[in-house]
Structure 1
């Protein structure tokens, strides 16, 4: 496989890793980097570009699992007695938070794929999502009722899950919607971010797993180098991005990310128009 193609796989993996869990919309960035520049559909030829994007998304998911490995071991009951912590976050909180988006996603999957992945809908998602994030910063309760993820109740998990349904609209951003929702419900920025990242793993694994099963026939020696480079790149940059974001979110909050989203919209409009 040509070196230039592998470089493009690395760049796409980097973009995925840096943007998947930040509230800036990885979909919007893929439009700029892939559709306008790298054009992976042309690079891959007979191989589906969506399969590659699913694989690099798995790299990002793996990074979350590594960062929150102790938390996931707690949730799955895999810690030894000496390692167990007084964790109040249970797998039922995650399931309650996932339920609304899973139900709506299954019902409207075909409609979303057919009608909501146009440039205009993605731009609308970027703008409306930015407005939600600005609103969350400005209207957040002065007194936080949830300082860390172990204080989240099932009721708040469900309410965050309902707000997460906005992310089914491409460009809205899963982390943007859930962190904003959590902040509006009285969670600290760090608690909302932790819950968002933990909750993302099962829903993304499920969606990615189904896509890979549909396209398993494309995994061969010719396609694998491209997939491997993209996966590793996405993992490394997602790992770094998550660590940076979790350290910075309490300080920078959401408005800077919202402004960045609006700038991204402007760039896309200038390039296309």
Structure 2
């Protein structure tokens, strides 16, 4: 057993778990960390996809009571049917866009200037929303959302396909601009992550299944478990954080990370290509 490889898998799991649901783009962090650890081959790309499953499981655990309430109430409750329908409607734009243009996005936008630009532009949008726009929420809970609200957030989520943008950042900040409270936008972002990441990850794993073998199981298992634990802690922390804090610190972090992306690209430390 390659202990060093397992340690690298654990580090990648931590990075995935901590960045998947924060508005700082997990993709950019995984590319940088993978390059620094020497995990850049085809199998490593499949590994990056696989460890998302641990992060998704964390959301299931944290929100299990609400998910179970929705599933058991589908047959008898209009509220639960509306909740499930809104999740589906919010997911639909990303599914359509992903199937039609994501290949082109990967081919033309996956480079350092775009990633760094998305980090920095996203940071200024966060600062603008928090410091200038200060949208007044009209929706305090995901249960108050209409179908149109869900579709609008779903289209905003599509911006997260641009490398460096952050899916969670797009949905949370976009949701706030559309009238959701900070808590409602964060909750809906997490709920949307479940079908979005499962479908995207499952599709990618199926396409890359030839790169998998049983010999890789220990590495994948370590990454999955560590990603789950890191994401579980991160989601629980973020839910407490948003109750009394803004996203301004994440904006400044995004600017710093955007500079790191440009520096590693200019020096050749990291190959920012898919």
Normalising by structure 1, we get a TM-score of 0.90
> CA separation of 1:155/1:86 partners in 2, compared to 1, >3 Å: closer, same or farther?
closer
Q: 2:134 aligns with which of 128, 140, 146?
A: 140
Q: Find the partner of 1:113 among 86, 97, 106.
A: 106
Q: Indicate if the aligned counterparts of 1:89 and 1:151 stay in contact, CA closer than 8 A.
A: no
Aligned 8 A contact 1:167 1:174 in 2 = yes
Q: Judge conservation of contact 1:190–1:249 (CA < 8 Å) in 2.
A: yes
Instruction: Please say if residues 146 and 186 of structure 1, whose CA atoms lie closer than 8 Å, have aligned partners that are also in contact.
Output: yes
Unaligned runs of 5+ in 1: none
The question of whether the paired residues in 2 share the 8 Å contact of 1:21 and 1:175 is answered with: yes
Q: Identify the residue that residue 67 of structure 1 maps to in structure 2.
A: 62
CA distance in 1, matches of 2:117, 2:72: 41
1:250 Cα offset (Å): 2.8
Distance in 1 between residues matched to 2:172 and 2:257, nearest whole Å = 20
**TM-score, length of structure 2 as denominator length:** 0.90
Shift of 1:173: 0.5
How many angstroms apart in 1 are the aligned matches of 2:61 and 2:74? 15
User: Residue 110 and residue 238 in structure 1: after superposition, are their counterparts in 2 closer, same or farther (change >3 A)?
Assistant: same
- Equivalent residues in 2 for 1:90-129, closer than 5 Å: 90-129=83-122
Which residue of 2 is the match for residue 16 of structure 1?
16
Which residue in 2 is equivalent to 1:174? 167
Moved more, 152-161 or 67-76: 67-76
Of 96-105 and 3-12, the range deviating more from structure 2? 96-105
Alpha-carbon distance in 1 for matches of 2:30, 2:24: 11
Separation in structure 1 between the aligned mates of residue 74 and residue 247 of structure 2, nearest angstrom: 34
Whole-angstrom distance in 2 between the partners of 1:53 and 1:78: 35
- Name the residue aligned to 1:193: 186
How far 1:125 moved relative to its partner? 1.4
Q: Residues 221, 106 of structure 1: CA spacing in aligned structure 2 closer, same or farther, 3 A cutoff?
A: closer
CA offsets 1:161-197 (integer angstroms, 9 cap, x no match):
1211211111100111111111112211111000000
What's the counterpart of residue 158 of structure 2? Answer: 165
RMSD: 2.1
1:41 aligns with 40
Confirm or deny that 1:53 pairs with 2:48.
Answer: yes
1:51/1:212 contact within 8 Å kept: yes
Counting matched residue pairs gives 265
**Partners of 1:270 and 1:116 in 2: CA distance:** 18
Name the SS of the counterpart of 1:207 in structure 2.
helix
Give 1:219 deviation, angstroms: 3.6
Cross-structure match for 1:229: 222
Structure 2 CA distance, aligned partners of 1:270 and 1:215?
A: 31
CA distance in 2, matches of 1:78, 1:41: 45
Which string of whole-angstrom CA distances, capped at 9 and with x for unpartnered residues, describes residues 138-170 of structure 1?
A: 31323x211111111111111111211211111
Distance in 1 of aligned mates of 2:82 and 2:75: 17
